[in-house]
Amino acid sequence: MMTPKAVRDSQVITTQLVLPNDTNGLGNLLGGTLMHWIDIAAAIAAQRHADRVCVTASVDEINFHHPVRLGDVVTLQASVNRAFRTSMEIGVVVTAESRSGHDSRRANNAYLTFVAIDESGRPVSVPGVIPESQDEIRRFDEALLRRERRLANRRP
């Protein structure tokens, strides 16, 4: 039996600067670039939790709350919300801070499912999650509801 881990043990916080090559013609961050950054942050959190290579199995939803502009500093915080047998739900919260540093806003959130794999590419068991704070407990509980929806949507 694997020893469960606290959320903080695998949490990832990463920061990006939005450069001209990252933006569209309106000066807003490209959605695909943000999705790439989200996937990387989530993958690192999953790998830290599982202590092995993990692959993206699904992306539930990515919600764009506010545009992210050229020159903004983007912070991505990825956390393992809950672990199941071989999969984990990773939540990513994205905040954007303006160039002046006076305006910080939640720009995005996303839920991704990752599966831990062995050297042959087969799914392997992952440790459970120990939620400690009220927010972690809420995310832990909500992750089960989202998983049930995911599984129901996969059925013919």
Write the pLDDT tens digit of every residue in 25-76: 999 999 999 999 999 999 999 999 999 999 999 998 788 889 999 999 999 9
Q: What letter does residue 18 receive in the DSSP assignment?
A: -
pLDDT for residue 150 = 86
Output the six-digit token pair for 43: 């993958």
Non-local CB neighbours of 108 within 8 Å, separated by 6+ positions: 34, 38, 62, 63, 64, 65, 68, 92, 93, 94
| Tally of CA atoms within 13 A in the half-sphere of 26 that contains its CB | 7
Smallest Cα–Cα separation from 47: which of 112, 120, 138, 107? 112
**What's the mean pLDDT in 109-126?**
96
pLDDT for residue 1 = 64
* Residues 75 and 18 sit within 8 Å (Cβ to Cβ): no
pLDDT for residue 87 = 97
pTM of the predicted structure, to 2 decimals: 0.93
pLDDT for residue 22 = 97
What pLDDT digit, counting tens, does each position of 70-110 carry? 999 999 999 999 999 999 999 999 999 998 777 889 999 99
* Residues 86 and 128 sit within 8 Å (Cβ to Cβ): no
Output the six-digit token pair for 22: 């990252």
pLDDT for residue 102 = 76
Q: Spell out the SS3 assignment of 33-78.
A: HHHHHHHHHHHHHHHHHHCCCEEEEEEEEEEECCCCECCCEEEEEE
pLDDT for residue 154 = 77
Non-local CB neighbours of 1 within 8 Å, separated by 6+ positions: none
Query: What domains appear along the chain, each with residue ranges and CATH number?
Result: 5-154 (3.10.129.10)
pLDDT for residue 110 = 94
